[in-house]
C-alpha cells in the first residue's frame, strides 16, 4: 500500500517534469524567425491590395502592442473572421498567413527558415510588442 502511494507520487513528479521540459522546448515568440522571406514578399501584395485602404502601418503596430504575449494564432483567427471589414473571410487562408508575416516584418521581426503555418505551432508562438 505504502509503496504504491510512493509510486503514484513518483510518476506524477516525473510527468510534471516532462511536461515542463516539453513546454520550455516548444515555446516561441515572433522574435524567433517564425516566418520566411517568401511569405513576406507575397504578404506585401495582399496587404497593398486588401489591407492598406482602411488602416496604415501605425494601426498594425498598435494592434501588435495590444496583443502583446497573446498567441499569434488568435490574431490570425481574429483577422480571418473579421477582415477585410467590407468582405470578411474573402481571402485564402495562406493569404491571411502571409499578410501577418508581412506586418510582422514591417514591425522589425526577423525572417527565418520556418514557414508560418496556422496548422502547425502558431498557437505556441507569442506576439511581442514591437
Distance CA 99, CA 85 (A): 15
Report if residue 94 touches ligand HEC, rule: CB under 6 A: no
Distance CA 103, CA 108 (A): 9
Q: How far is the CB of 43 from ligand HEC (least distance, A)?
A: 9
Opening angle at CA 101, ends 103 and 50, nearest 5 = 60
Binding piece for ligand HEC, criterion CB under 6 A, among 6-14, 15-23, 85-93, 109-117: 85-93
Report if residue 84 touches ligand HEC, rule: CB under 6 A: yes
- My answer on whether omega of the bond before 84 falls inside 30° of 0, hence cis, is yes
Q: Residues 30, 72: contact at Cβ < 8 Å? A: yes
Report if residue 49 touches ligand HEC, rule: CB under 6 A: no
Burial 87-96 (b: 16+ CB within 10 A, else e): eeeebeeebb
Q: Among residues 30, 40, 72, 79, which is the contact residue for ligand HEC, using CB under 6 A?
A: 79
Closer to ligand HEC by CB, 1 or 85: give it. 85
Distance CA 94, CA 77 (A): 12
Q: How far is the CB of 47 from ligand HEC (least distance, A)?
A: 7
Binders of ligand HEC among 97-116, rule CB under 6 A? Answer: 99
Residues of this chain that interact with ligand HEC (CB under 6 A) are: 50-51, 53-55, 63, 78-79, 83-86, 91, 99
Amino acid at each position: 500500500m505504502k509503496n504504491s502511494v510512493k509510486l503514484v507520487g513518483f510518476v506524477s513528479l516525473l510527468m510534471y517534469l516532462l511536461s515542463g521540459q516539453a513546454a520550455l522546448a516548444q515555446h516561441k515568440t515572433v522574435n524567433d524567425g517564425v516566418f520566411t522571406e517568401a511569405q513576406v514578399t507575397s504578404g506585401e501584395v495582399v496587404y497593398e491590395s486588401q489591407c492598406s485602404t482602411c488602416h496604415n502601418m501605425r494601426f498594425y503596430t498598435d494592434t501588435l502592442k495590444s496583443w502583446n504575449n497573446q498567441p499569434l494564432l488568435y490574431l490570425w483567427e481574429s483577422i480571418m473572421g473579421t477582415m477585410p471589414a467590407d468582405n470578411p473571410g474573402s481571402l485564402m487562408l495562406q493569404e491571411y498567413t502571409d499578410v501577418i508575416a508581412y506586418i510582422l516584418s514591417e514591425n522589425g521581426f526577423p525572417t527565418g527558415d520556418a514557414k508560418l503555418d496556422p496548422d502547425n505551432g502558431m498557437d505556441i508562438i507569442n506576439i511581442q510588442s514591437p
